Structure 1
Amino acid sequence: MSIRIDVVGDDAALEDLWDWLGDDRDLRGRCRLASAPVRPGTMGSGTEIVMDLSNLVASGSALLSGVAAWLAYRRTEGRRTTPTVAVTTPDGHRFEITADEPAELERLLTALSGHLHRDDDPAA
């Protein structure tokens, strides 16, 4: 089982998030880059960050804290736009997280808690 993380429409920001998460000792080695599934209406797939839920049990709060900290950092960096981080759960439910909507992180954690001990993985 896995969750998929993407920065909507910004491959450079995805690489920045990847680096940011890799600097966290609790997350280092627990995430990987993978090709995103082709979505209807698109010409191909991009890259996204994938984290196995077995790793999420041990480091889920670190992942969500890392995403929240990265979004806050990007916002204070003086950029005109703050990226949107899309997280897709194993059942295909998509959460879009921005620096302006941190409560979505809590909804995501609640949604993920139901998947932590299940064996099905439609997102894999």
Structure 2
Amino acid sequence: MQVTITVESVNGPAGPDDLRHWLVGQPGLRGRIHRQVDAPAPGTMGAAGDVVLAVLEPGGVAAAFAGAVVAWVRTRRGTQTVTVTRPDGTRFTLSTTQVKGLDARQAAELAERLAATLEGRAEVPPPSTPSAP
């Protein structure tokens, strides 16, 4: 399955190329990550869209991809929003404002939710929030 990843960067230097380099550096994802530049639709104005394509399989590859995307978003400066789109149009969106404060367990749960979405599995419960002492 091929998924499309878009990155919107509001006030940070990270963008689609930064994410692509990060993903290519993950051992389980080498050879599965590609860049695609989409031209604006004929008759419209605007810049070309730069997206990242990932070729995934169920199981380990989708899980490795999901973990790498969550880790990338957690470590960026500024505000980035990453949207992963399946071929059937199902979308999963993460932003730095949502994930910065997650602990390791919550980040792992979020990666599992993304992997489940990519694989078309039943929804995994949302990450739990830390309880007050």
> Which TM-score applies when normalising by structure 1?
0.68
Inter-partner Cα distance in structure 1 for 2:54 and 2:63: 13
Pairing partner for 1:113 from 108, 116, 119: 119
TM-aligned CA distance change 1:101 to 1:32, over 3 Å: same
| Deviates further, 96-105 or 42-51 | 96-105
| CA distance in structure 2 between the partners assigned to 1:12 and 1:108 by the alignment | 21
Q: Secondary structure at the match of 1:87?
A: strand
Amino acid of the residue matched to residue 8 of structure 1?
Answer: E
Contact 2:34 2:52 in 1 (8 A): yes
The alpha-carbon deviation at position 105 of structure 1 amounts to 4.3
Larger relative CO (CA 8 A, sep 6+): 1 or 2? Answer: 1
Which residue in the other structure is 1:25 paired with?
27
| Matched-pair identity in % | 32
User: Which 4+ runs in 1 deviate beyond 6 A?
Assistant: none
Deviations for 1:54-81, whole angstroms, at most 9, x for unmatched residues?
Answer: 3x5441111111111111211xxxx3x2
| Contact preservation (8 Å) 1:97, 1:104 | no
> How far apart are the structure 2 equivalents of 1:67 and 1:99?
11
Change (3 A) 1:47 1:71: same
Q: Which residue of structure 2 lines up, in the alignment, with residue 7 of structure 1?
A: 7
Q: Is the 8 A contact 2:14 2:80 kept in 1?
A: no
Shift of 1:45: 3.5
Map of 1:59 onto structure 2 = 61
TM-score (norm: length of structure 2) = 0.64
Q: State the match for 2:50 in structure 1.
A: 47
Structure 1, unmatched stretches of 5+, are 116-124
Distance, in Å, in 2 between the alignment partners of 1:15 and 1:91 is: 24
Matched to 1:25, the amino acid is P
Residue aligning to 1:121: none
Partner of 1:93: 90
Q: Is 1:38–1:45's contact at 8 Å kept on the other side of the alignment? A: yes
